[in-house]
Amino acid sequence: MFQALKRINRQFALLSGISLFLLLSILATHLISRYFESTIDGNWEQISAEKTNSIKDECTSLFDSYQKETIQFSSELLKNKKLLTAIGNQNTRKSYEALFESDRVNDYNIEIYNPRLELFLFSGRQIYPDILELNRALSGSKFTTVKEIGFYTYVVVFTPIPVQQADKVWSGKAGGVLVTAKLIDVRYGIRNKFFRNLGITQEITDKYNISVTFDFKPYTNLSEYTDSSSLKEKLLFELKNSNGEIMGQMFIPQLDKASYILDVRDRFSNLISVEIFILNLFIAFLCIYFLKKIDSLFIRGIMMILLVVISRYLWLAVDFPSKIIMSSGLDIFSPSHYASSVAYGIGRSLGELFITSILVLIICSYIISLVIKSYRKEVLYTYTYVHIFIITLCIFIFFLAFHVYGGIIQSLVYDSNLRYFDRTQILPTDQPELIFMQLAVLFISITFLLILISCAITINKYSSGFFGKNILVGRYSVIMIFLALFIINLLLELFDTHLTELSLTLGIRNLIIILSGLLTFYIQRKLMLEHSFKLTSLLNFSMIVLACIIFVPIVMLNKITSQENKYLELTAKKISEQADDKIRFLISSSLQDISENPSLELDLKNKNKYPKLAFNIWTQSTLYSEDLNTGVFILDPDGKPVSDFNVNPSELLSDSVVSFALRNIKRKPAVPADTSIINPDKTEDLSEEESSAGDEEEIFQNREMKFYCGIKPIGKVNLKNSKFKRVIGYLVIAAQYDAKNFLAQSSMQIFRNFSQDNLINKLTSAPVISEFSDGELVGSSDKDLSRSFIKSLDLFKESVKDKIDKSSLRYDQVENQLYKSYYVESSPVSKNDMSPEKIYVVSIKVNDFNLMIFFFFKYFLFAIVIYIIFIIFYICYKLTVYMLKPQEERTIKFGFREKLFVSFIVVSVIPIIVLAIYSREFVKEKNNEFYKNQMISDLRIVEQYVKNKMPSLDYSKMKTEGSGENGVNIFNIFGKGFTESRKNFNLYVKTRLVSTTDEQLYKSDLLDERISGNAFYNIALLKKDYYAENQDIGSLTVLAGYKPMYDNFNNLIGIISSQTVFRQNEINQELTENLVYIFGVYFVAVLFLIMIVNILSYTISNPIIKLQKATEQLSRGNIEIQVSSSSKDEIGELVNSFNKMTRELKRSRAELKKVERESAWRDIARQVAHEIKNPLTPMKLAMQHLYYAYSHSSGDFKSILQTTNRLIIDQIETLNRIATEFSDFAKMPSRNYQPINIDEILLDVVGLLNSDGKITLKLFKANSKSSVTGDRDEVKRALINIIRNSLQAIDEKVCDRVDGHISIETVVSNGFYRIFIKDNGIGMDEDTLQSLFEPYFSTKSSGMGLGLVITKKIIDDMKGKIFVKSVQNKGTEVEIRFECFYFPDKT
Amino acid sequence: MRTDKYILYTVILIYYCFIGIQLSHSQDNWWKEKKYKTEIKKVKFANCKKTFVNIGNGINYANVYEITPYFGSEVYLSILTDEKGYYSPDQTKFILDNFFTNNTVNSFKWRNSNRSENYAFASGKYKYNKNGFINTYDISVSLKYVNDSWIIDQIIIN
């Protein structure tokens, strides 16, 4: 007991010490933070200067590193002798060959010019070098410069190429110029998903959290900036090239003291939050430590929940770990992915939900471990009504769990903004938030399953009394319970009320009940068989995860598709709204914002800026973030377009927009500034009601083409000597309001940052959108399908006749496929509006089996990957623990079954994995081949088309007039049919683009107008018939195919190309889907194989393991053992012979026992006779002496009578004792085995024997509730025997005047109940110790030597152990050891 | 002399009145009052204005709880380039709260508005304090008329 206390104190002291230390360190951190703040305050100027300098140095060095890399690459290229020779020989083909030998050629843009400054070789994008720069390089100087081309910024290195052959020297000049460029920055709003993390500005912002700006404009003069107000707040630094020339400026914002101090404080508060977290952990350890001391499992559970909840809120208070994780760049704590205000902000974001789900899982695991513990305990209350109450409560919790779980998953799906159906990737690596969401769902599902199992186990425990002692029913009681739950579940469905609504459909509920039933059955069986069963084993974990993998995707899919109705409605209403006012507002505010921008006027004066001007305006305006087909057009004063950008030119025709806008603005002076007249088509009746319509912008609606456009003159300049003002240009903005905006989004997505903002992305599959006007189909994304809905229109009108909300959901059967459609009638806004009423229908497939399978497999693969990662961590942990063990303890035992299992798995699973890997490659290859073939056939058709369309095409003219330096003067030879096919086709003449189906890709600079260097080399120089390559647009990789066009004389007249820009998503989707199906099926097969292999290895190894266990039992003396086996093979025979052997052994043992017993009886009889004889002789003598005295009338007769009487009574007492001991030894009383508390028995025994004050008896109890199974009276007798022996041993020694004491201590550890009885009596010698438990051995004069034999028998029968240690004249120590909870009857 | 004094007082009074009118008028510059034929419409657009004013106050005092009553079942949010899409009211609340915390408001004023039967838009300038600099964002809010009340359809911050 003292030792136990000491142990407790040591652990407690350690934990408290660490906690105190942490508390002090928090205080210290806080003080240090304050000290830092005051230091910063005092030395701000110095700190600010140092910090700015360090940032400047970092930025400059980062910039220099880009420069150096490019210079180094140029030098490397020029070291290539083969390349130099080829350039010297003017051999383009060989030059390309030599160039492509370099590994890093794809990371750079390269141009090589010959001494006549003609482009000789190129790779990558166009660099547009200045002729002055080229001349300078040609004259031998090597220098670096920075160029802004479109929205890209490049660092460009000009290197003169050394002259190779003396005879080709060009008047002292170099042999050519090598221009290499590396992308260093991406600007404007085009920073879309492909360029999100690219560029030097981004790098610096990520590193220092400051917005550094660069200005690489050539000829910029510092004086231009001196009066700029922004410069006052920023520090300007010059960026120089290797020659010391200024290339541009860098502006670093001046450090703000307050924000710097805040930053420092923030860092310290981060540290403090970590410290608080660690402190919280230690306090949690302390609490758990004390929790173990509480006996009531219920209170323990409640305390644990409280502890976790308090910790969670404490973390929330100190922003742990959201602050630290957010600062590392993972934005799972942003509410944009998921946010909910349930549970007082416990799930404010996905990260918090994730952490909470882990904590809830921990609580539930703890609770189930308590439930399993309590399962082994005797029921506390024996009243039947208490049992019925507990069972009812558990059933209620069981079904409540379904309701809560369904609700939680629904809330997760409804409140999250994630794309659950991303078909481009198997694992959502592009969307890390989805990984956390799916993990959180998995954890919550495991928690849910654990709650179900806990309920079922408790019901099983408390219902066992009702099943009686029928073993069959007892064994399968779990199945019966789940059958009952199943029936209750079905009954609940019948009572379709709000109270019985369980958030999950009946089928899913049944599936979950079956799965949890199987798991509970397994756990209950294990609980019965293994007394040390723990739920936290790898096998149990795997089984629970497997069950979750089966039902979680089904539940999620169910919830996602149920949410779909909401999005279907939202989409339909959005489309029907037409949003006239919104578009008007958008156009007018964009016009206002753009025209207010002073740089627009400057840009308009610079003709070089024209090509990309419209695109830049578009990216900077709000139009960029709208779900609309929009276009920006810039016109010169004469109304001629100079620059335009149109998202979808095939839908919003540029020419119509411009002419419509111009037509309207010309009408304007003739009429007063009243929108109602300017815009005759305006549907609103506001003009009637409003006395002064305040709109100043000119917004016109074109009903025919379904677009709105706005026009605004730019920069009115005063004309000399005149009151008139001159306009320098017009800005036209157009937006299409057609429902088709929602249909073809692909072209828009290319230019935008996000795709998740699109409503349609939230639907599980692509919807069919139809627009009906007066019962006629006027717009559709799938005409055949849309026509099928015409017949439902009247029914719809009928159904919404009396309703205010003219919309409804309907299910239609079309082409044997069920579609759910949302119908919305868009009624005219006013009575004056004569426009026909329109009905919009958005339809989507219902019960899409492919979709279900895809989602199931996708989640399945995700869970498998997570499981494998977990297993790897587990193995690493186990290995570490194993390595830390001492050398002698390091043994890994692989049993027969494990070996069998592993060998089966190796033989069966490995081929499947190999096959899966092979299939993956095969599918990828096939997919690529398929798209390549498709591209080739497409290109063939296009080649024919181009040849037919322009038989007299003057290619040479196109070459010269085609596109200039920045020009996009492109012939439009591709008709509307091409644009509708959503395939991109381009025609190149020589190296220049002359015609394309998607101008906007080139106007936005996403693609280069020059043919790729590789393609030119392969097609023009190597004369290949077809060439395909992968090209990168930021992080998007697209497939590009090229095909040459020859004239009748076999001269190359052009190159036709096609890029999968818009279709790349589709291609990735198809590949992913194929892979998901393949991997999904393979993994399911592997899972089944593992199960089959498990069963097989179990069947084969089980008899052998049984035999081995039986042999062990036999060696321990259990000859009753028999092994059951139904197999007829060698193992069966082995089992039979074993059984035969044990039977033989049993028989011979019985015979031996009989003989032994007879001999023992003989011995006993002899001994008893002898013992009886002993008192009989003195009795006989006494009686003779009495008779003699009586017959001789002795005068002393009275005293003789008294002596004789005493003697005889004494002897009779002796005889009685002999008889009692004999019967005690011989009799086998019926035992009453039950859980007994030995501490209580010891207390009785000590009270009984402590009456004598000479010897002190001390009892140290373990105070444990653990019990031992045995007979209470027998145990008491055994303990009395031992303690009495100790008392007697001391009694013998007391003569030597030594104080006697006996200490009795009980300890519960490792599942054993141990009693230590120590005395300081006379002790025993070695011989006595040896024969201590032999019958009739006794050192005492009185007694038969049967006491200890009886004691040993009692302990042995309880499967206990007794050990005796003794030193003569010092004392004896007896240890009795029992197993806690042992059911001798069941084994 | 005495008359001059009176004239001066009158001029000052008129001047202040004028300034006062100007000021009170400038407050409402963003909302152009119109004459409505029916009382229903008048009330409807008065409600619309009130909604915008309340939202404006919410933004001005960075108090998201003044804005939350006007959230519909889904709100389209576009905050710079970070957040974009349809969000649930809970999400919107947290995102806006986040935005207000990161960009401490200095002042917010509606600049202009536009309205029709079922739609109303307003945009304003949001001045905020970040790293010691005062910068501006454009905030535009669009309202939708659903079931006799104006609810927020979109919030765009650029």
How many CB pairs (< 8 A) connect A and B? 120
Q: Could you give the 3-state DSSP secondary structure of residue A249? A: strand
Name which of A72-81, A409-418, A851-860, A1294-1303 the model is least confident about: A1294-1303
pLDDT-derived band at A976 (thresholds 50, 70, 90) equals: low
Chain B interface, best mutation among A417, A567, A708, by max B CB count within 10 A: A417
- pLDDT per position as a tens digit, A527-544: 877 777 788 788 888 889
Show residues of chain A in contact with B32, CB under 8 Å. Answer: 692, 694
Show residues of chain A in contact with B78, CB under 8 Å. Answer: 625, 757
Chain B interface, best mutation among A589, A590, A623, A749, by max B CB count within 10 A: A589
Residue whose C-alpha is closest to residue A485's, from A568, A564, A419, A402: A402
Q: Count of alpha carbons within 13 Å of A542, Cβ hemisphere only?
A: 11
Q: Across A649-663, A749-763, A1313-1327, which has the greatest mean pLDDT?
A: A1313-1327
- pLDDT per position as a tens digit, A254-293: 777 777 888 888 888 888 888 888 888 888 888 887 877 7
- DSSP lists the bridge partners of residue B130 as B133
pLDDT of amino acid A1252 = 56
pLDDT of amino acid B22 = 46
Show residues of chain B in contact with A753, CB under 8 Å. Answer: 81, 84
pLDDT-derived band at B18 (thresholds 50, 70, 90) equals: low
- DSSP lists the bridge partners of residue A821 as A810, A843
Show residues of chain B in contact with A415, CB under 8 Å. Answer: 88, 90-91
Q: Say yes or no to pLDDT of A218 above 70.
A: no
> Is the Cβ pair B119, A593 closer than 8 Å?
no
Q: Does residue B107 sit in the same domain as residue B141?
A: yes
pLDDT of amino acid A14 = 85
Chain A interface, best mutation among B104, B114, B156, by max A CB count within 10 A: B114
Q: Does residue B79 sit in the same domain as residue B13?
A: no
Angle, alpha carbons A846-A852-A856 (nearest 5°)? 160
Å from A48 to nearest chain B CA? Answer: 14
Tell me the residues of chain A between 381 and 440 that have a Cβ less than 8 Å away from chain B: 414-415, 417
Which CATH number is B150's domain given? 3.10.450.50
Mean pLDDT, to the nearest integer, of A882-898?
Answer: 78
> Domain residues for B5?
1-30
pLDDT-derived band at B121 (thresholds 50, 70, 90) equals: confident
Q: Across A222-226, A605-609, B26-30, which has the greatest mean pLDDT?
A: A605-609
Average model confidence (pLDDT) across chain B: 80
pLDDT of amino acid B10 = 72
Name which of A424-428, A679-683, A896-900, A905-909 the model is least confident about: A679-683
Q: Do A962 and A1058 meet the contact criterion of CB atoms below 8 Å apart?
A: no
Å from A699 to nearest chain B CA? Answer: 13
Name which of A172-186, A232-246, A755-769, A1266-1280 the model is least confident about: A755-769
- pLDDT per position as a tens digit, A794-831: 888 888 887 777 888 888 888 788 888 899 887 665 55
How many other CB atoms are there within 10 angstroms of residue A118's CB atom?
Answer: 8
The total number of structural domains that make up chain B: 2
Q: Which residue of A has its CA nearest to B115?
A: A581
- pLDDT per position as a tens digit, A1137-1185: 888 888 888 888 888 888 887 887 777 777 777 677 777 777 888 888 8
Q: Say yes or no to pLDDT of A1103 above 60.
A: yes
Between A551 and A916, whose confidence is greater?
Answer: A551
Q: Does residue B22 sit in the same domain as residue B99?
A: no
Chain B interface, best mutation among A234, A582, A683, by max B CB count within 10 A: A582
End-to-end CA distance of chain A: 33
Q: Does residue B26 sit in the same domain as residue B41?
A: no
A759 and chain B in contact, CB less than 8 A:
yes
- The amino acid present at A691, given as its one-letter code, is S
pLDDT of amino acid A262 = 80
- pLDDT per position as a tens digit, A368-402: 888 888 887 777 667 788 888 989 999 999 999 99
Name which of A678-682, A856-860, A1108-1112 the model is least confident about: A678-682
Nearest neighbour of B91 by CB, restricted to A417, A570, A829: A417
pLDDT-derived band at A469 (thresholds 50, 70, 90) equals: low
> Is the Cβ pair B131, A341 closer than 8 Å?
no
Mean pLDDT, to the nearest integer, of B33-52?
Answer: 85
Å from B8 to nearest chain A CA? Answer: 37
> Is the Cβ pair B76, A757 closer than 8 Å?
yes
Q: Say yes or no to pLDDT of A422 above 60.
A: yes
pLDDT of amino acid A1385 = 40
Q: Do A920 and A1078 meet the contact criterion of CB atoms below 8 Å apart?
A: yes
pLDDT of amino acid A181 = 93
- pLDDT per position as a tens digit, A569-619: 888 887 777 667 778 878 887 887 787 777 777 777 777 777 778 888 887
Nearest neighbour of B85 by CB, restricted to A339, A589, A756: A756
Q: Does residue B83 sit in the same domain as residue B56?
A: yes
> Is the Cβ pair A258, B116 closer than 8 Å?
no
ipTM for the predicted complex: 0.71
Name which of A261-265, A491-495, B23-27 the model is least confident about: B23-27
- Measured CB to CB, residues of chain B less than 8 Å from chain A are 32, 34-37, 41, 73-74, 76, 78, 81-88, 90-91, 93-95, 98, 112, 114-121, 123, 130-133, 138, 140, 142, 156, 158
Q: Does residue B42 sit in the same domain as residue B19?
A: no
The token duo for A164 is 């190779």
Å from A265 to nearest chain B CA? Answer: 14
Q: Does residue B106 sit in the same domain as residue B51?
A: yes
- pTM value is 0.73
Q: Compute CA A807 distance to the chain's CA centroid, rounded to the nearest angstrom.
A: 39
- pLDDT per position as a tens digit, A836-881: 778 888 888 887 788 888 888 889 889 989 999 999 999 999 889 8
A582 and chain B in contact, CB less than 8 A:
yes
Show residues of chain A in contact with B34, CB under 8 Å. Answer: 686, 689-692
Write down the number of H helices and E strands in chain B: 3, 6
Average model confidence (pLDDT) across chain A: 80
Residue whose C-alpha is closest to residue A582's, from B141, B101, B36, B60: B141
Q: Do A284 and A359 meet the contact criterion of CB atoms below 8 Å apart?
A: no
pLDDT-derived band at A172 (thresholds 50, 70, 90) equals: low
Å from A579 to nearest chain B CA? Answer: 8
Q: CA B75 to CA A1093: how far, in whole Å?
A: 53
Show residues of chain A in contact with B140, CB under 8 Å. Answer: 589, 622
Å from B25 to nearest chain A CA? Answer: 16
Phi and psi at A750, nearest 5°, equal -60, -35
Nearest neighbour of B95 by CB, restricted to A336, A580, A691: A336
- pLDDT per position as a tens digit, A996-1045: 888 888 887 788 888 988 899 999 889 999 998 888 887 788 889 999 98
Q: Count of alpha carbons within 13 Å of A1287, Cβ hemisphere only?
A: 19
How many other CB atoms are there within 10 angstroms of residue A880's CB atom?
Answer: 9
Q: Does residue B80 sit in the same domain as residue B137?
A: yes
- pLDDT per position as a tens digit, A747-795: 666 776 554 456 776 777 778 888 888 888 887 777 788 888 888 888 8
Show residues of chain B in contact with A584, CB under 8 Å. Answer: 114
Å from A563 to nearest chain B CA? Answer: 13
Name which of A221-225, A333-337, A934-938 the model is least confident about: A221-225
Residue whose C-alpha is closest to residue A767's, from A721, A729, A820: A820
- pLDDT per position as a tens digit, B96-114: 888 888 888 888 888 888 8
Q: Say yes or no to pLDDT of A1268 above 90.
A: no
Show residues of chain A in contact with B121, CB under 8 Å. Answer: 581-582, 585
Q: Say yes or no to pLDDT of B92 above 50.
A: yes
* A402 conformational bin, left if phi > 0, alpha if psi -120 to 50, beta if neither: alpha
Nearest neighbour of B78 by CB, restricted to A339, A415, A625: A625
Q: Does residue B24 sit in the same domain as residue B52?
A: no
Q: Do A1052 and A1046 meet the contact criterion of CB atoms below 8 Å apart?
A: yes
> Is the Cβ pair B85, A757 closer than 8 Å?
yes
Q: Do A1022 and A93 meet the contact criterion of CB atoms below 8 Å apart?
A: yes
Angle, alpha carbons A965-A969-A970 (nearest 5°)? 120
Q: Does residue B46 sit in the same domain as residue B65?
A: yes
Phi and psi at A503, nearest 5°, equal 65, -10
Nearest neighbour of A259 by CB, restricted to B81, B115, B132: B132
Q: What percent of chain A has pLDDT over 90?
A: 8
Q: Does residue B8 sit in the same domain as residue B67?
A: no
Name which of A62-71, A259-268, B19-28 the model is least confident about: B19-28
Mean pLDDT, to the nearest integer, of A336-357?
Answer: 81
Q: Does residue B1 sit in the same domain as residue B42?
A: no
Q: Say yes or no to pLDDT of A952 above 60.
A: no
- pLDDT per position as a tens digit, B132-155: 667 788 888 988 888 888 999 888
Q: Which residue of B has its CA nearest to A586?
A: B121
Going by DSSP bridges, is the β-strand pair B71-79/B149-157 parallel, antiparallel, or unpaired?
parallel
